[in-house]
Amino acid sequence: MDAVVRLIHSHGGMAYLTLTMMTDGTTDAWTSQQQAEYITKATTTQSYIDIIVHEVLRANYDGVIMDLESTPPDYPAIQQSFALYNQHLWATLKAHHKLYGIALVHKVSNHDSYYILNGFQDWRLLAHSADFMVIMALDQSYATPGPSVSLPWLKQILAYAQQTMPDMLPDIIWELPLYGNSWHQANEAWVFDGLINYQEAQHIHSQVDETRIDTSASNLDGATDTYLIYSDEAGVKHALWYHTARNLYTIITAFSRTLEETSEFGTAVPQIAVWYRSTQEPGELWPMLATSLLNSP
């Protein structure tokens, strides 16, 4: 990674050490319980912080982004412990003139449908724990077919951020998805199949016989999202939701205007990040954004 950091700096960019843990159930992964125990112990164990700061200084990172997810929200005092850990790490990095950010799982209320994932993060406490935030506005839909991100949903997240950390609004990076999702129906219920990129969705659409498409439920020319509902040769119903370049452009530019019209935002510039860049994304997006957003790629 040292060479990557140097390359980023040579092009005028900033490189952040991202702290995360694998909790996906694989052989070498941590459990959610172990992650919660780590956070709690880190509040009173300076060596946990020292090893992070040492690596930041050694490789000349510009700062750190804390990206812990899947911590159980019912672990004793985890909200307070997570905030305290962040505050200690932030204070130590600040002494070395390094920046600190926290990646937040999206929220629209204190106890929303994603509470099992975001409940350990108390935005009111974390508002006083970092230089900036990265709100991961990803995966809006899971249980039933729908968009991976939408403008109304982003406005809900923004409203919650206004309630819980208004002073941080100028320092929030909004991370949006370039991917979509797919589902199939089994026993009259929708089953989530996983992520799907733009090129994959386009390929599937090209292979589906027009007679198998539910045209009344599909929208292949929407303003902010595109979705295809069809049945395969075995009669199984499928749903694809994804974004074209035009869809993403509309969402990003409209939400940027919403931010600029928010009083707490002041004169700040909207900060948009994406997950994730690949050769299979809708490449037409970047030329479109280059003419409408400051500091676009």
Three-state SS string over 265-291 comes to: HCCCCCEEEEECCCCCCCCCHHHHHHC
Going from the C-alpha of 118 to that of each of 36, 92, 105, 163, 234, the distances in angstroms are 13, 26, 5, 16, 38
- Average per-residue pLDDT for the chain: 96
Predicted confidence at residue 143, as pLDDT, reads 93
pLDDT digits (tens, 9 = 90+) for 29-41: 999 999 999 999 9
Q: Does the pLDDT at position 9 exceed 80?
A: yes
pTM of the complete model: 0.95
Using CA of residue 110, residue 116, residue 117, residue 119, what is the dihedral sign? positive
Each domain of the chain, given as residue ranges in start order, spans 2-178+247-290, 181-242
CATH 1.10.3710, applies to 181-242: no
CA 94/CA 65 separation, integer angstroms: 13
Is residue 246 within 8 Å of 285, Cβ to Cβ? no
Q: Does the pLDDT at position 297 exceed 90?
A: no
Q: Does the pLDDT at position 233 exceed 60?
A: yes
- Of 278, 286, 284, 137, nearest in space to 200 by CA: 278
Rounded average pLDDT over 112-136: 98
Q: Does the pLDDT at position 21 exceed 80?
A: yes
CA 276/CA 240 separation, integer angstroms: 18
Is residue 119 within 8 Å of 104, Cβ to Cβ? no
- How do 189-196 and 180-186 pair as beta strands? antiparallel
Predicted confidence at residue 277, as pLDDT, reads 82
pLDDT digits (tens, 9 = 90+) for 177-225: 999 999 999 999 999 999 999 999 999 999 999 999 999 999 999 999 9
DSSP state of 219: B
CA 103/CA 17 separation, integer angstroms: 12
pLDDT tier, 148 (very low <50, low <70, confident <90, very high otherwise):
very high
CA 257/CA 170 separation, integer angstroms: 13
Task: Spell out the residues 6+ positions from residue 236 whose beta carbon is closer than 8 angstroms to its own.
Answer: 184, 185, 186
Q: Does the pLDDT at position 249 exceed 90?
A: yes
Q: Does the pLDDT at position 295 exceed 80?
A: no
pLDDT digits (tens, 9 = 90+) for 40-92: 999 999 999 999 999 999 999 999 999 999 899 999 999 999 999 999 999 99
Residue owning tokens 């659409």? 205
Predicted confidence at residue 172, as pLDDT, reads 99
Comparing 2-178+247-290 with 181-242, is the CATH topology the same?
Answer: no
Predicted confidence at residue 171, as pLDDT, reads 98
pLDDT tier, 24 (very low <50, low <70, confident <90, very high otherwise):
confident
Predicted confidence at residue 25, as pLDDT, reads 87
Predicted confidence at residue 278, as pLDDT, reads 80
Instruction: Kindly provide the residue ranges of all beta strands, DSSP E only, lying in the chain, ordered along the sequence.
Output: 16-19, 63-66, 99-105, 132-136, 172-177, 180-186, 189-196, 226-231, 237-242, 271-275
Rounded average pLDDT over 141-158: 98
Count other C-beta atoms under 10 Å from residue 286's C-beta.
14
Share of the chain above pLDDT 90, in %: 92
CATH top class, domain 2-178+247-290: alpha beta
Predicted confidence at residue 294, as pLDDT, reads 63
